[in-house]
Amino acid sequence: MRRALGLEFRKMRRLRTLPIALLLVAVLVALASGQLMAGGGTKTGASMLMSYTMVAAMISPIMAAVVASRQTEIEHSSGGWWWSPVGGIPVAQLCRAKLLATSLVMLGVVAVQTLLIVLIALAAGVSAGWNVGAWASYVLLLLLVNVAFLAVHTYLAARFDNQLLAVGVGILGGFAGIYSLLAPSALARVIPWGYYALISHTQFVQENGQFDVRYLTPEYPWIIGFVAVVLGLFTYLSKTLETVER
């Protein structure tokens, strides 16, 4: 696995995967911080987290699709699905190495975008309503859900030559993710991208005729179960790719 992972990082440098991911990070941070420029309303740590959650639900599925597709498409064009087993790296191991490599990239991406959003908010004078535990929990769950979707898109990109399918699913997932924030939690549980809504740690509440943003506790068992099921399916399905004729 170490050799396969090292090869994936070498491919990543040539494919410019990191600059593409950072471009999407810039878009996410700009959109999430946009509310600071809007007039009216008190900006708090809770409202910033809600803004982050909404934008991440839209951008993260696209990011997962683009990064996974970019890292996997090269195997179709270079004959990697045939050459890797010849070199001692089975297809299933190759897919797992791709998932691990892109997951490490996603770890850095989530850390950077979170840090930037927090620093921008603090620089703009947002000092009230920060809950470090809620922020840390949300960031961890966002990373886990992103990794689950990296697994989904790595499989799709490996199974089908046409990468428009994998990327198209990610774009549709971005719309599903943002709209799932408005859906009942019962519906969000059965929509894969609904888990970007289920990991939310904030909600609107009405008090004395005014709306405010408060922290909440998400449904951890459902979220952990979803990630575990997706990764389990990926492990199984990546093994079946070894029987696919190229």
Give pLDDT tens digits for 192-216.
Answer: 999 999 999 988 776 666 677 888 9
Q: What is the pLDDT of residue 31?
A: 92
Question: How high is the pLDDT of residue 218?
Answer: 93
Which pLDDT value is given to residue 124? 86
pLDDT of the residue at 8: 75
Residue-wise DSSP of 54-113: HHHHHHHHHHHHHHHHHHHHHHHHHTHHHHHHHTT--HHHHHHHHHHHHHHHHHHHHHHH
What pLDDT sits at residue 6?
Answer: 77
The pLDDT of residue 35 = 75
52: exposed, middle or buried (Cβ count in 10 Å: 0-12, 13-18, 19+): buried
Which residue stretches of the chain have pLDDT < 70?
Answer: 1-2, 38-42, 78-87, 206-210, 243-246
Tokens of 92: 């299933």
pLDDT for the residue 125: 85
